[in-house]
Chain A
Amino acid sequence: MKVNMVGAINNALELAMREDDRIVILGEDVGRDGGVFRVTDGLIDKFGAKRVVDTPLEESGIIGASIGMALAGLRPVPEIQFAGFMLLAFSQLVNHAARYRTRTRGTMSVPMVVRTPVSGGVRTLEHHSDSPEALYSHIGGLIVIEPSNPYDAKGLLIKALRMQDPVIFLEPTKLYRLFKQEIPDENYEVPIGKANYMRKGNDLTIITYGTMAPLVQEVADKKNVSADVIDLRTINPVDEQTILESVKRTGRAMIVHEAELSFGVGAEISARIAEKAIFELSAPIIRVASPSIPYPFPGYEGFYLPNAKKIGDAIDRILSV
């Protein structure tokens, strides 16, 4: 089938729900409305209101109840309408979802997949464009996934829905309908914790994910540089092995993400490279990210988001060393 990311996720949910009747989707407007981005469109007709549940407007309630459902043997797939509003459920995620397994020494677990749209570039109102992957990755016990294309979105989601762990599944709104891709009709898995080479080269490694992945690839192609472009796909646990393998080969590392610069995923990856491959680097590591300030109102997002020029300049800089 040829689908965009919305279609791929919708299809993954449908296949998984057919395979496993413990799966229940719940969230604000996920039923009749099909979600504000139409990701769950049609699922209420296929599986009924028992399995596709329109909840009251209460994020902490949605996640807290999902934790209870998971502990009791269901496989909830809560949708939080925008990542900015998941903070209202932060306590449930950090204090409970992440800790239940280790708290009970593996005897109780919380198999749930929390889906939420992330990142900007689509001129939305305040709090609708946040990139919170580092917040959740900082919490041991939560798996954090962020696909950048329809193929990965479907395979990663199917895999996540078969796992025993709480998964934060971040869906970049900008990529929801940006492009279509030919993907298999049937079930397939994309491994979690494994990055993907989008492109191979010799002079530079660019590590990226989410909204920035297609942009980085485009810039690297246009500039015709010999660069590895690695799409993390899973933020936590990070695929350190692939990163180090590439960086040791190219000797230059750049990390590109849309989230704010400071204390972000780029910092974590830089630290790992510095710890384990610093003597193999021929240039300082460069991070390209949004400034260390909250995501602005839409009128300013053009001044805020990393764009092709900013990425291109950074490539020139690192290659000139």
Chain B
Amino acid sequence: MKKQVYSCGIDYLQVMDEDGGIDLQLMPSIPDSKIVEMYKWMLFTRNLDAKTLSLQRQGRAVTYAPLVGEEASQIGVALAMRKDDVLAPSFRQHGIHIARGQPLDDYFIYWKGYEDGSKSARSINALAVCVPVGTQVPHGAGVAFAQRYMGKDAATVAYVGDGGTSEGDFHEALNFAGVYKLPLIVVIENNQWAISVPRKGQTAAETLAQKAVAAGIRGVQVDGNDVLAVYKAAADALASAKDGPTLIECVTYRMGMHTTADDPTKYRAEEEVNAWKARDPLRRVNLYLTSKGLWSSQLEQETTEQHQRQIDEAVERAEQFKPDPRGMFETLYSFMPDALKEEEDNAVSNNFWM
């Protein structure tokens, strides 16, 4: 005997097309003012990204992972999340941190290379920036487990890249969340590249969203450059999180280098990058809002200037930050072991051999 025991398909979601046209049937019921808010956050994120990149180029920030091109995949989720929802980020989600209220000073202190910049993660219900690829997703499952356990009306959003979906931790987390039907939303920020390895080099699967199928959870692919589609997918997943996890694949594009230590001309063609410019996540919202009389080039300029002032002031304050190396010792354990105290005293009395 032979019969089909399972079949599946993956939905693709786009609400706003590349020219700002709306699919009214899919349009989430939100006021236009919310779309203006989304646009402003995307613009802020882009301005912040450009500033950080230029600071890095001047030697005033450490190795930095730019997000230009991926604003919608972050802001759409950030604005769908509620305050009590928890974020388990990877290392490129600066937009969400900021839109969830991370103080800009801390953002810059982090990118100047100090742990102190991570202090405020707690206050915005975020876990720490996570560098080992994919390892944050199981944390997300654990946070979701705790939310369920404690009876909280909240969910967890874990981010991961296209490359990160190859890691065992990613699959283990989906599996864990699926078994217990945890309130976990895993967002794949599929920017088509993992450093020099293209999306097709990661998996033979047609979509990344279908990774949900084997875990027995919901999976959807969205136009990751369409902030409304991202928002809708996230809002739907959050609304039904009490029934179990959802995997959302945001199809977007890494317009910049992997990090400031990377040279993308070594492995990808300029034509590919150019082709994605037409699909820019800001451009389409700008067109939409302008056509509705809700945005203008004058507003764009004023807003950008205001952002830049805000950003520059934060940079100034971050420059005043005084590192305290004793923090390395003092915060390692919840108590101070004698042997470590001796190491610390020795370092302090020798002025850290500076």
CB-CB nearest in chain A for B346: A291
Interface residue? B299 (CB, 8 A) = no
Closest to A299 in B: B113
Contact A291 B197 (CB under 8 A): no
Interface pick from B30-38, B162-170, B228-236: B162-170
A310 and B353 contacting across the interface, CB-CB below 8 Å? yes
The answer, yes or no, to whether B5 is at the interface (CB within 8 Å) is no
A37's nearest neighbour on chain B, judged by CB, is B261
Instruction: Count A-B contacts at CB 8 Å.
Output: 120
B93 to chain A, nearest CB (A): 15
- Of residues 112 to 137 in A, which have CB atoms within 8 Å of B's CB atoms? 123-128
Q: How far is the CB of A42 from chain B (nearest CB, A)?
A: 12
Contact A297 B353 (CB under 8 A): no
Contact A28 B167 (CB under 8 A): no
B167 and A58 contacting across the interface, CB-CB below 8 Å: yes
The answer to the question of B352 belonging to the interface, with a C-beta cut-off of 8 Å to chain A, is yes
Q: Considering only CB atoms, which chain A residue lies closest to B323 in the complex?
A: A299
Interface segment out of the listed A194-202, A238-246, A301-309: A301-309
Secondary structure at the B interface, as helix, strand, loop or mixed, is loop
- Taking the complex as formed, is A268 at the interface, i.e. its CB lies under 8 A from any CB of chain B? no
For the complex, what is the distance from the CA of A59 to the CA of B62, rounded to whole Å? 25
A36 touches B261 (CB 8 A): yes
B266 contacts chain A at the CB level, 8 A cutoff: yes
Are A88 and B132 closer than 8 Å at their CB atoms? yes
Q: Which chain A positions have C-beta within 8 A of B323? A: 299-300, 303
Question: Which residues in window 265-288 of B have CB below 8 A to A?
Answer: 266-267
Is A237 an interface residue, CB under 8 A from the partner?
no
Binding-face segment, B94-102, B144-152, B212-220, B324-332: B324-332
* Residues A292 and B114 in contact in the complex (CB < 8 Å), given A56-B203, A303-B347, A303-B354: no
Secondary structure type dominating chain A contacts:
loop
Q: In the complex the two chains form, is B328's CB within 8 Å of A56's CB? A: no
Identify B62's interface contact among A88, A123, A293, A310, CB under 8 A: A123
Q: Which residues on B sit within 8 Å (CB–CB) of A36?
A: 195, 261-262
Q: Is the CB of A291 within 8 A of B266?
A: no
Complex CA gap A303/B353 in Å reads 8
B168 close to A60 (CB less than 8 A): yes
Residues from chain B with a CB closer than 8 A to the CB of A125 are 62-63, 91, 131
Chain A residues with CB under 8 Å of B352's CB are 302-303
| Contacting residue for B343 out of A33, A84, A292, A313, CB 8 A | A292
Find the residue from B115, B167, B203, B340 having the highest chain A CB count within 10 A: B167
- Kindly list chain B residues whose C-beta atoms are within 8 Å of the C-beta of A307: 353
Number of chain B residues whose Cβ lies closer than 8 Å to a Cβ of chain A:
44
Chain B residues near A61 (CB-CB < 8 A): 166, 168
Minimal beta-carbon separation of B67 from chain A (angstroms): 15
Q: Do A313 and B167 touch (CB < 8 A)?
A: no
Q: Give a binary string over B184-221; 1 marks a CB under 8 Å from any A CB, 0 the rest.
A: 00000000001111000111000000000000000000
In the complex, which residue of chain A has the Cβ closest to the Cβ of B133? A57
Which of A123, A126, A127, A313 is B353 in contact with, Cβ under 8 Å?
A313
User: A71 to nearest B CB, angstroms?
Assistant: 21
Bound Cα distance from A261 to B347, whole angstroms = 13
Residue from B131, B164, B328 within 8 A of A57 (CB atoms)? B164
Q: Chain B residues with Cβ under 8 A from A310's Cβ?
A: 350, 353
A28: chain B residues at CB < 8 Å are: 194-195, 197
User: In whole angstroms, how far apart are the Cα atoms of A250 and B140 in the complex?
Assistant: 56
Q: Do A291 and B343 have beta carbons less than 8 Å apart?
A: yes
Q: How would residues 271 to 312 of chain A score, 1 for a CB under 8 Å from any chain B CB and 0 otherwise?
A: 000000000000000000001111011111011101101100
Residues from chain B with Cβ under 8 Å of A309 in the complex: 353-354
Least Cβ–Cβ distance between B158 and chain A, in angstroms: 16
- Chain A residue numbers with a CB within 8 Å of B201 are 54, 56
* Interface residues of A, count at CB 8 A: 43
Is A29 an interface residue when CB atoms closer than 8 A count as contact? yes
Query: Which of A32, A128, A300 touches B114 (beta carbons < 8 Å)?
Result: A300
Report the separation of the CA atoms of residues A68 and B112 in the bound assembly, to the nearest whole angstrom.
43
Q: Mark B42-66, 1 if CB is under 8 A from A, else 0.
A: 0000000000000000000011000
Q: Which residue of B lies closest to A124 (CB)?
A: B63
The answer, yes or no, to whether B8 is at the interface (CB within 8 Å) is: no
B163 to chain A: closest residue by CB:
A57
- CB contacts (< 8 Å) of B112 on chain A: these are 299
Task: Name the B residues within 8 Å of A60 (CB-CB).
Answer: 168
CB distance from B128 to the nearest CB of A (A): 9
- Complex formed: what's the CA distance from A84 to B132 in Å? 8
CB distance from B19 to the nearest CB of A (A): 34
Asked whether B1 is an interface residue with its Cβ less than 8 Å from the other chain, the reply is: no
B24 within 8 A of A: no
Can you list 25 pairs linking A and B with CB atoms under 8 Å apart?
A28-B195, A54-B197, A56-B163, A56-B197, A57-B134, A57-B163, A57-B164, A57-B167, A57-B194, A58-B166, A58-B167, A59-B167, A88-B135, A88-B169, A123-B63, A125-B131, A128-B131, A262-B339, A291-B347, A297-B113, A299-B112, A300-B114, A303-B323, A304-B328, A306-B353
- Write the residues of chain A forming the contact surface with B, with a CB cutoff of 8 angstroms: 28-29, 31-34, 36, 54, 56-61, 84-85, 87-88, 123-128, 261-262, 291-294, 296-300, 302-304, 306-307, 309-310, 313
Which are the 8 A-B pairs with shortest beta-carbon distances? Answer: A299-B113, A33-B196, A303-B325, A56-B166, A298-B113, A57-B163, A310-B353, A299-B114
